[in-house]
Amino acid sequence: MYRDNYIESLRIELLEMVADQLTPVALQYGYSEVPLETTIKWRPQVLVLGNYSSGKSTLINEFLGAEIQGTGQAPTDDSFTVITYDDSLPPESPIQITDQRDGKVLLNDSEYPFETLKKHGQRFAAHFRLKKVNSPFLKSLAIIDTPGMLDSITERDRGYNYQEVIGDLAQIADLVLVLFDPHKAGTVREAHTSLRDTLPAKTFEDRVLFVLNRIDECASMMDLIRVYGTLCWNLSQITGRKDIPMIHLTYSPGAVQKSNNQPAPGYLKYLENQREALKEAVLKAPCHRLDNLAAFVETHGQRLAHLLEALVNYRLRARRFHLKGAGMALIAGLLSTAAGWVGTMATPAMSGLDPVIQLSVCGAVGGLTMAFWFSTIHRLFYRRFHRKTLAGIDDLTSLENQTRRDSWAAVRELVKTHLEKTRGKYSLAEVRRQYANVWEIYEKGSRDIREALKELADLPPDQQEAKEQNSVAAM
């Protein structure tokens, strides 16, 4: 409990920081169309992906303790279903669906974090829904069941970009389960690609759990080892890594009873604990939330800082350019004053005039030249400078490592658009102030939260209990 409260207060603090400091900048520069905190403000979420019939819905039903999701052989469910908690019924009520929302409502309700998915269109909205269920399993998290993956040809008939939807949901989710079954142990390349492209590399391993499901269908231990080997090989091919990620092995006893009455293979009893381990890992999703929030603040803080840094650099260059322009205008003015002086001396009609008048005339010529230079010639030069800077926009920043190159790729077009729109005329002082703020959030936010996470990890359970009791006693 102490732990939960601690996590919750940290979460709220971070959300406020994002809402107050990062969101205004993100909206101002078109980095995001909705407030940045939209996707992180809701409860922790677990996304369940996998091939069709890999047993996603059956496993979810087992976690929930009731038949909430439809199941069946062959592709059964073509919808994304968010399943969340409802405590409106008395505690002893049987577990059931208490309320449902369809996609259109869900995508437009700012209480939920799905507004960014609106871009996937009507067809997606028609395949998106929410169920509220009174299962205790959902007390601290929500689960998202997904349509089974098909082959890439059939995938195109869905009417929305499945890959992109998965990528967006994975970004929102705190934990992603990727399910395989023994029959199709290596066909999730596309899903993996979209996960790798969207999840920050730093958190990928903590955030994705691979599960080999329906293991009761392996006829023998040898068969299971063969399937496991195939899956490891396929995963290493897809991930491009030699080390094999942890793969949970599990099955749903309820589904076994339904599918056949043959005795379960003998090796299953050695793997019974795996299902519990998986369940525990899923229940830990709220702990991942802090880690994910830290990654969120780091990623967006870094990108926004990069965007602002380029805008500051542009203004600094422009300032240098204007200073040079002013110097040149001054030289042009002085030269024309001198030329005017020589001219007056050389013209007999003028040479006899009062020197004060002569000087005033020359000064006026010089002043006019300066004004002309600044208002016309310098402007032309400035337009050239602006065009050239836009053409070589990458020179506005240093790209010394991959992280910098990645963050620049995310904001380069936004910098360009802003420079084109404003024609480079914006306040340097304001952008500098924003840059300093965002940078502070990036540094402070991620440092504070990493320290808090470390503190949480170091906290022995008994100390947690003690702290919990103290905080209860103090109330």
Binding site for ligand GTP (CB under 6 A): 50, 52-58, 71-73, 75-77, 147-148, 213-214, 216-217, 251-252, 255-256, 258-259
Main-chain phi, psi angles of 209, to 5 degrees: -115, 125
Q: How far is the CB of 464 from ligand GTP (least distance, A)?
A: 35
336 binds, among ligand GTP, Mg ion, none (CB under 5 to 8 A by kind): none
According to DSSP, the residues that pair with 183 across neighbouring strands are none
* d(C-alpha 96, C-alpha 91), whole Å: 12
Strands, E assignment, 42-155: 45-50, 80-85, 97-102, 128-133, 142-145
Q: Give the CB-side neighbour count of residue 71, counting CA atoms within 13 A.
A: 19
Residues in binding contact with Mg ion, number by CB under 5 A: 3
Q: Which is nearer to ligand GTP, 71 or 369 (CB)?
A: 71
- Residue 281 structure tokens: 């890992």
Q: How far is the CB of 447 from ligand GTP (least distance, A)?
A: 41
Kindly tell me the burial class for residue 128, based on how many C-beta atoms sit within 10 Å of its own C-beta (0-12, 13-18, 19 or more).
buried
62 binds, among ligand GTP, Mg ion, none (CB under 5 to 8 A by kind): none
- Residue 210 structure tokens: 């691979």
Q: How far is the CB of 401 from ligand GTP (least distance, A)?
A: 41
- Residue 108 structure tokens: 């437009």
Q: Is 374 in contact with 329 (CB distance < 8 Å)?
A: yes
167 binds, among ligand GTP, Mg ion, none (CB under 5 to 8 A by kind): none
According to DSSP, the residues that pair with 212 across neighbouring strands are 180, 249
Beta strands 142-145 and 45-50 are parallel
Q: Does 163 bind Mg ion (CB under 5 A)?
A: no
How far out from the chain centre does Cα 71 lie? Answer: 32
Q: Give the CB-side neighbour count of residue 84, counting CA atoms within 13 A.
A: 15
Q: How far is the CB of 257 from ligand GTP (least distance, A)?
A: 9
52 binds, among ligand GTP, Mg ion, none (CB under 5 to 8 A by kind): ligand GTP
Q: How far is the CB of 299 from ligand GTP (least distance, A)?
A: 31
Which phi-psi region, left, alpha or beta, contains residue 423 (left: φ > 0; alpha: ψ -120 to 50)? Answer: left
**For residue 168, which of 238, 122, 104, 113 has the smallest C-alpha distance?**
113
Main-chain phi, psi angles of 161, to 5 degrees: -85, 100
Q: How far is the CB of 165 from ligand GTP (least distance, A)?
A: 15
Q: Which is nearer to ligand GTP, 214 or 418 (CB)?
A: 214
Q: Which is nearer to Mg ion, 73 or 401 (CB)?
A: 73
Q: How far is the CB of 5 from ligand GTP (least distance, A)?
A: 35
Q: x/- binding map, residues 12-51, to Mg ion, per CB under 5 A?
A: ----------------------------------------
- Residue 424 structure tokens: 């480079």
Q: Does 213 bind Mg ion (CB under 5 A)?
A: no
Q: Which is nearer to ligand GTP, 76 or 98 (CB)?
A: 76
Q: Which is nearer to Mg ion, 45 or 57 (CB)?
A: 57
Q: Does 57 bind Mg ion (CB under 5 A)?
A: yes
Q: Which of residues 394-453 bind Mg ion (CB under 5 A)?
A: none
55 binds, among ligand GTP, Mg ion, none (CB under 5 to 8 A by kind): ligand GTP
* d(C-alpha 254, C-alpha 237), whole Å: 33
Q: Does 77 bind Mg ion (CB under 5 A)?
A: yes
Interface ranges with Mg ion (CB under 5 A): 56-57, 77
